[in-house]
Amino acid sequence: MAAARIVLVAAVASGQGKTTVTAALARALVRRGQRVRVFKCGPDFLDPMLLEAASGAPVGTLDMWMVGEDACSQQLHAAAQQADVILVEGVMGLYDGTPSSADLARALGIPVLAVIDASAMAQTAGAIVHGLRDYGPVELAGVIANRVASPGHAAMVAASLRGVPLFGTLPRQTHKLPERHLGLVQASEIDGIDALLDTLAQQLDFDDDAWNSLRTTTIDAVPCAPIAPLLAGKTVAIARDAAFAFIYPANLTVLTDLGAAIAWFSPLAGDPVPAHADAVWLPGGYPELHADTLSNTTAWQTSLRAAHAAGTPIVAECGGMMALAGSLTDLTGATWPMAGLLPGDVTMQTRLAGLGPQALATAHGQLRGHTFHYSTLATTVPALAHTVKNPSGVQGEAVYRAGSLTASYFHAWFPSCPTAVAAMFT
């Protein structure tokens, strides 16, 4: 068993400031000398980048369906052995989704810290807080009021809570964390990110006595099934740069546990696929923001075409698939030639084209994951298979096979079925 102060940072809806508050709280606790680990509830690539910058430690993913309760417990148990505080940022509203952030909190015995956007309310905050607590119910540890205008405003919010501790307040921000169509801008792209996080930590009016009243949570160790080294002796080349940055650390761990060596290359920098690679993975990212460079940088395209012609297994997910299509049309209407391994044309749009948890049935078991994209693919290549959406069971994303290339908008969570992952790369 391992124990730490653990809270799930949740809200009534998206847009309340969960990520900002979690980042501010993480940085404030680090500045107090605490060892802090942060997790993100639900599929997400971008928020964890910011939270890693805030806490100084890798950010894991917790999700009752995609990750599984046992694997969530394993991660928290490992983190509690190394941390004083664990913050888990929820997804959407506390009770949104099947399963929801509230389901995770109840299953793992984690108290909830509610973030309230107080910018357009005062005493009504208490009604929202008590509703969040009692609807499930969940164990509500306390509240952080975001976008508070003044000490008097904070006092009205505190009085409305009727015994629920107000852990702290954060004022309205002059400058918001920058966003684009998939969410927050990647932390590495934000100028002065450390200074911004320090400012947020300084602005967080934090009640140490209330925080110190938070109980510790004990997480039991759960046995972890060993992974057979099915990729022993193999090298997997992985694209990684500003265009291909959506990589779960857990997916890399699975590849190394399978016995694979990893070789990185950057298409944006003009790198070819490493010559000694036995397989290639192009993960998701923002190829649409770098279409000009990708279109005019030939080394990565030429080397991928050669690898494809040689029968080297290539896995391309979402942004990776977009870069391997025949062309990519961005939001300005400009069309850019891409690598052309998958015949077809990708077109960006302002409307969301796919979102939510999905699963792919394989000969080795169910591979779980999710989808989130603002583009569409028009191709004559027939779908090899389709994912199914969770929990509806409705048909989801197409999975395409073109020679040795496997491509889809589907983002796979490799730990859900390592044997299926090994098969994709062989």
Query: CB atoms < 10 A from the CB of 198, how many?
Result: 16
**End-to-end CA distance of the chain, in Å?**
38
Positive or negative, the CA dihedral 131, 136, 140, 143 is: negative
Helix residue spans in 40-85 (DSSP H): 46-55, 69-80
Whole-number Å distance between alpha carbons of 186 and 98: 28
DSSP one-letter code for 339: -
Q: Cα dist. 83→63, 123, 324, 381 in Å?
A: 20, 36, 42, 49
Pairing of strands 395-402, 405-408: antiparallel
* Catalytic residue, candidates 41, 72, 224, 318: 318
- Find out whether 8 and 110 touch, Cβ atoms under 8 Å: yes
Q: Cα dist. 13→16, 25, 101, 310, 397 in Å?
A: 6, 19, 11, 49, 27
DSSP one-letter code for 178: P
Torsion angle in degrees (nearest 10) through CA of 281, 187, 102, 25: 150
- Find out whether 407 and 321 touch, Cβ atoms under 8 Å: yes
Q: Which of 83, 82, 149 is nearest to 122 (CA)?
A: 149
Whole-number Å distance between alpha carbons of 26 and 285: 26
- 43 phi and psi, to 5 degrees? -65, 130
Query: Does 72 participate in catalysis according to the annotation?
Result: no
Whether cis (ω within 30° of 0) applies to the bond prior to 391 is yes
Whole-number Å distance between alpha carbons of 74 and 85: 16
Q: What are the residue numbers of the active site?
A: 318
